[in-house]
Amino acid sequence: MASAMASSTGGALVTMRGVGVFRSRRWLIEGVDLTIRPGEIITLIGPNGSGKTTTAKTAIGVVSADAGSVERSRDLVVGYVPQKLAVDRSLPMTVSRMMTLTTRAGAPAVDEALERVGIRHLRKAQVHDLSGGEFQRALLARAMLRRPNLLVLDEPVQGVDFSGEIALYELISDLRESEGCAVLLISHDLHVVMAKTDRVVCLNGHVCCAGSPSSVAASPAYRQLFGARASEALALYRHDHDHTHLPDGQIAYGGHDHDAGACGGGGGGGDGHGHDHDHDHDHGHDHGPGRAHDPQGRHAALNGDPAPHPQDGAPAPRRASEHDHA
């Protein structure tokens, strides 16, 4: 059923239509549509077991589809960095030897690839002796040495500390810029990734929602999956946002919330309202106790919203209309 023909891909590297994968008596993914075009960064997000890795593996043909179709461009060259890789200690392997695992390359090309990720000095080291970050860089260099037009990275910052994580994402972004390859990235690391990505596909066995980072963060399906905190994390990293997504699915415009909050605090004087805004500024909208300070009836009336917000830490004070009042 699943085909891997190169025809009619319309310039896309990979086109998946209604793809399902059935293993161990259940569907790991179902009805997944995904198109990967040259040069774009796509991030797959989703909870554990949502089929992120399965989707990526099906796209590049490591896993075969049981339903739907997968079309791959004839000149697709994949560079793959898998989620887990442990080279058995019984297998001696230098970093430079690992570079040519699936491809031929001369020593200068290998050195250059290692230089690109900043670990040329480790070329004679055994891969077992590398730190987590060094090993991930080596894997990245190995994948790039193939000059892929599609780089697939499955949770590439696992086992890397926070500063190394940011450096690694910057490296990936740089490599994309210089090599022009498409990147299919799997991550649970919403905030760091989203700033760099062109398109986000949110999975939970099927495609919940897909689109630009901000439109995905706005979608109710995404919120249901990750909760309000997830989009909050996004907001923290994207300071150019012009609106805020509320947990109840509404959108508040003019949302320079931090500034507005400060204004509210100043204008409100010492009536307890200001405290609420300061709190809000620090922690976003996930704070039940702060809400208790608020005279609830007043807010409801001011919003023209008779029903209290069901979500804990309701964002009412953050709404633009609120600050008009203050």
**Interacting residue ranges for another protein, rule: CB under 8 A:** 24, 57, 60-62, 78-80, 82, 85, 87-88, 90-94, 97-98, 101-103, 121-122, 124-126, 146, 152
Task: Compare residues 145 and 194 and give the one whose CB is closer to another protein.
Answer: 145
Q: Smallest distance from the beta carbon of 159 to another protein, in angstroms?
A: 16
Task: Compare residues 181 and 246 and give the one whose CB is closer to another protein.
Answer: 181
Query: What helix, strand, coil percent values describe the chain, rounded to 5?
Result: 40, 20, 40
Q: Smallest distance from the beta carbon of 142 to another protein, in angstroms?
A: 8
List the one residue out of 241, 232, 322, 311 whose CA is nearest residue 276. Answer: 322
Q: Smallest distance from the beta carbon of 131 to another protein, in angstroms?
A: 15
Judging by DSSP bridges, how do beta strands 41-45 and 182-186 pair with one another? Answer: parallel
Q: Smallest distance from the beta carbon of 134 to another protein, in angstroms?
A: 13
Both tokens assigned to 233: 């994390």
Q: Smallest distance from the beta carbon of 79 to another protein, in angstroms?
A: 7
Question: How far is it, in rounded angstroms, from Cα 64 to Cα 89?
Answer: 31
DSSP state of 51: S
Q: Smallest distance from the beta carbon of 57 to another protein, in angstroms?
A: 7
List the one residue out of 153, 123, 152 whose CA is nearest residue 138. Answer: 123
Q: Smallest distance from the beta carbon of 106 to another protein, in angstroms?
A: 16
Q: Smallest distance from the beta carbon of 187 to another protein, in angstroms?
A: 18
Task: Compare residues 72 and 199 and give the one whose CB is closer to another protein.
Answer: 72
Task: Compare residues 101 and 195 and give the one whose CB is closer to another protein.
Answer: 101
List the one residue out of 117, 52, 50, 125 whose CA is nearest residue 82. Answer: 52
Task: Compare residues 61 and 211 and give the one whose CB is closer to another protein.
Answer: 61
Task: Compare residues 98 and 175 and give the one whose CB is closer to another protein.
Answer: 98
Task: Name the H helices within the chain.
Answer: 52-60, 95-99, 107-116, 132-145, 162-179, 190-194, 213-218, 220-226, 228-237, 257-268, 273-283, 288-293, 296-303, 320-325
Question: How far is it, in rounded angstroms, from Cα 221 to Cα 305?
Answer: 23
Question: How far is it, in rounded angstroms, from Cα 185 to Cα 57?
Answer: 12
Judging by DSSP bridges, how do beta strands 182-186 and 243-245 pair with one another? Answer: unpaired
Q: Smallest distance from the beta carbon of 171 to another protein, in angstroms?
A: 19
Task: Compare residues 32 and 228 and give the one whose CB is closer to another protein.
Answer: 32
Task: Compare residues 104 and 239 and give the one whose CB is closer to another protein.
Answer: 104
The region that residue 311 occupies, defined by phi over 0 for left and psi between -120 and 50 for alpha, beta otherwise, is beta
Task: Compare residues 101 and 251 and give the one whose CB is closer to another protein.
Answer: 101
Q: Which residues are 45's β-sheet partners?
A: 202
Phi, psi torsion values for 14, nearest 5 degrees: -135, 135
Given a contact cutoff of 8 angstroms between Cβ atoms, the answer to whether 37 and 182 are in contact is: yes
